[in-house]
Structure 1
Amino acid sequence: MTELPRLILTREHIQHGLTAKELARRCRSGALVRLRQGVYVDGGVWRALTPWDQYRVRVGAAAETFVARTIFARHSAASVWRIPTIGLRHPIHALTLQNDGGRSRAGVLRHYAPPAGLKCVRREGILVTGRIRTVLDLAAFTPFAEAVVPVDHVLKPDTEQRLPALTKELLLAGIEGNYTAAAARRVRAAVEFADPRSGSAGESYSRALMWVAGFQAPELQAEFRDDSGLVGYTDYYWDRVRVAGEFDGTEKYVKPEYLKGRTVSQTVVDEKERENRVRALGNGMVRWVWADLMAAGQLERKLAAAGVPRRRARSAQ
């Protein structure tokens, strides 16, 4: 888990030996980055963070500037829970318990939530909606393909944070009384589609985009063996047309749990060898990366070119 940088607060600037002019000068030079009025962070550390860690830091900066008790929700709560979401430029999401339309300003969107039955927890010094409510809110208020990502994630144990897996039954039980009928239908669709076998956020998003585009559901984590033994597992496999699919995220080339003591170059060589052995068994292979998922229609075009079949209409089944 990435260690987040310490926030530098204007109200504490005397403790850091910084005057207002010095803060402004350091911002101009890039030594500091201003996150919100009165909140700064070391510029070099900030630029080294991933976009999702930068967003988590912005949530913390917002928490430092609010005087009233604030419950963060949706993408903001997910960032504190380390639940993956899709997109890089989300606003800060917080709840209001007064049904007066709320106030959304300064990069913060406030959403009304009835206080009855609302559960929140304090994590890393920040009040956030509970893990179940956070995932359900994302399923209710984001597009289906994006909603599948956090739901897939919580169906597996989070070993890094020592959080248990949630069940679909637990998630579905959290719908009652919290959502409109339309929002409840969106939640059920995402939960019913979710699958804990998905290995990463990119794999989850890919699978959901495939479904939205009308492709047949693939087998996940398909096992391949040849005369030499176990070849490995592919992210997706369409047995009828003998096509394997692989999402190439950066994780397998940078994270220790994927590298398993290998160098990056050796990992690339091993991946190529694995693909060659899968192909030698008479299978086709199609690969894609994050850029393909972000470009409208690009994944659909790649899958179609590889011969991945579409779902048939019910009347043709």
Structure 2
Amino acid sequence: MTVLPKLVLTRDLASLGVSTRQLPAAVRAGALVRIRQGVYVDAAAWRGLQPWDQYRVRIEAAAETCQSLTIFSHHSAAATMGIPTIHRGQPVHALTTFKGGGRSRAGIRRHLIAPGRIDAHELGGLLITSRVQTVLDIAAFVPFAEALVPLDHVLKPDATRGLAALTKDELIGALPGRYTPAAERRVMAALEFSDPASGSAGESYSRGLIHVAGFTAPTLQYEICNSKGRVGWSDFYWEGSRTAGEFDGFAKYEKAEYLKGRTPGQVVVAEKMREDNIRATGRNVVRWVWSDLWTAGELERKLSEAGVPRRRRPSAGHGTGRGTQKRSEDTR
């Protein structure tokens, strides 16, 4: 994970006898960015961070300024563990056992929980909910398509962090008594549909939107061959219309593990050649990117024009992206 910039804390400066009067001027001059009251960070370092890493800085800033022991949860716990989510401008999330009012303030949303239901551990100096509790909490809290992103991820081993895959049985076993009946039904619906074969956060989110829009379920990671052998793998495939679906994120054009020594331009050319080879087998290819997922109805339009069959019409009130207006960079 990215090394985050050092926080500038007014309390530390004050303890050293250093004046803090210059901090607001430094913010106005563009040298510092104010993260929250009493916490600043170097502006150049902040601008160099991806939005999901900026979110991690906001979590650390909250941890530095909370007056009592804080257990971070939901998207905040996920970000700390490297579990992808759809951010959608999320605040910092934490747990509380306090039943009175005014639990959420100062950019921290606090979720009420019974003391006996807390499952937490320490990671990187922060107290966070466990992987099991984190992904279940998110699934109970967000729309169906967004819930699939962290669920699909934890059903696979995390080689980067040396973590074994969770099983659906483990997750289902942790459900009873944790949420309201309505929330538990939402979690179960997402759990039943979750699939470790999904290759990325974008593919998981796409798959959820495809389902909500009423299209037939695609085969994931489908091998396409011609008379000479394998042409390649497709993210999604619909046999009924002989359509290959490809989600284009940005990782394959930016990250070393995907570039494999090639330039981004070389990767673009290779992708174009692969698509041409797939089309040469008599199949259709439909591609989409993050912006298509944020625009209501755009993915649905593309799939319809490609002839992807439907199992039914979309349910009333369920669009294909209407609730998510953030940019692709907000996804992690």
- 1:228 CA displacement: 3.7
**What is the TM-score of this pair, normalised by structure 2?**
0.91
Q: How many residues align?
A: 313
2:270 alignment partner AA: D
Q: Greater shift after overlay, 45-54 or 222-231?
A: 222-231
Alpha-carbon separation, structure 2, partners of 1:227 and 1:215: 30
Determine if contact 2:103/2:110 at 8 Å carries over to the other structure.
yes
Q: SS of the residue aligned with 1:128?
A: strand
- CA deviation map 1:212-257 (0-9, x unaligned): 0000000000001223432110100001110000000001111111
Determine if contact 1:243/1:284 at 8 Å carries over to the other structure.
yes
Alpha-carbon separation, structure 1, partners of 2:258 and 2:104: 41
Match of 1:244 in 2: 244
Alpha-carbon separation, structure 2, partners of 1:231 and 1:88: 37
Alignment of 1:60-79 (within 5 A): 60-79=60-79
Alignment of 1:1-317 (within 5 A): 1-13=1-13, 19-101=19-101, 103-312=103-312
Determine if contact 1:101/1:112 at 8 Å carries over to the other structure.
no
1:133 alignment partner AA: Q
Alpha-carbon separation, structure 1, partners of 2:73 and 2:279: 45
Determine if contact 2:154/2:166 at 8 Å carries over to the other structure.
yes
Determine if contact 1:253/1:267 at 8 Å carries over to the other structure.
yes
Alpha-carbon separation, structure 1, partners of 2:16 and 2:229: 61
Determine if contact 1:222/1:235 at 8 Å carries over to the other structure.
yes
Determine if contact 1:226/1:281 at 8 Å carries over to the other structure.
yes
Change in CA separation of 1:119 and 1:29 when aligned onto 2, cut-off 3 Å: same
Alpha-carbon separation, structure 2, partners of 1:116 and 1:225: 54
Which ranges in structure 2 are unaligned for 5 or more consecutive residues? 314-332
**What is the TM-score of this pair, normalised by structure 1?**
0.95
Determine if contact 2:86/2:146 at 8 Å carries over to the other structure.
yes
Alpha-carbon separation, structure 2, partners of 1:55 and 1:312: 38
Which ranges in structure 1 are unaligned for 5 or more consecutive residues? none
Alpha-carbon separation, structure 1, partners of 2:14 and 2:66: 21
Alpha-carbon separation, structure 2, partners of 1:312 and 1:52: 36
Give the alignment's Cα RMSD to 1 decimal.
1.5
Q: SS of the residue aligned with 2:225?
A: strand
Identity level (%): 59
Alpha-carbon separation, structure 2, partners of 1:137 and 1:95: 11
2:221 alignment partner AA: Q
Alpha-carbon separation, structure 1, partners of 2:298 and 2:48: 29
Alpha-carbon separation, structure 1, partners of 2:298 and 2:64: 41
Determine if contact 2:14/2:20 at 8 Å carries over to the other structure.
no
Q: Greater shift after overlay, 101-110 or 167-176?
A: 101-110
Determine if contact 2:240/2:308 at 8 Å carries over to the other structure.
no
Determine if contact 1:74/1:135 at 8 Å carries over to the other structure.
yes
- 1:77 CA displacement: 1.0
Q: Greater shift after overlay, 281-290 or 152-161?
A: 152-161
Determine if contact 1:52/1:88 at 8 Å carries over to the other structure.
no
Q: SS of the residue aligned with 2:57?
A: helix
Alpha-carbon separation, structure 1, partners of 2:54 and 2:16: 22
1:53 alignment partner AA: D
Query: Which contiguous aligned blocks of 4+ residues in structure 1 show a shift greater than 3 angstroms?
Result: 14-18
Alpha-carbon separation, structure 2, partners of 1:23 and 1:152: 43
Determine if contact 1:99/1:112 at 8 Å carries over to the other structure.
yes
1:140 alignment partner AA: A
Alpha-carbon separation, structure 2, partners of 1:301 and 1:87: 24
Determine if contact 2:75/2:87 at 8 Å carries over to the other structure.
no
- 1:312 CA displacement: 4.6
1:145 alignment partner AA: A
Alpha-carbon separation, structure 2, partners of 1:88 and 1:212: 19
- 1:162 CA displacement: 1.4
Alpha-carbon separation, structure 2, partners of 1:284 and 1:278: 8
Alpha-carbon separation, structure 1, partners of 2:116 and 2:14: 43
Change in CA separation of 1:30 and 1:18 when aligned onto 2, cut-off 3 Å: farther
Change in CA separation of 1:219 and 1:69 when aligned onto 2, cut-off 3 Å: same
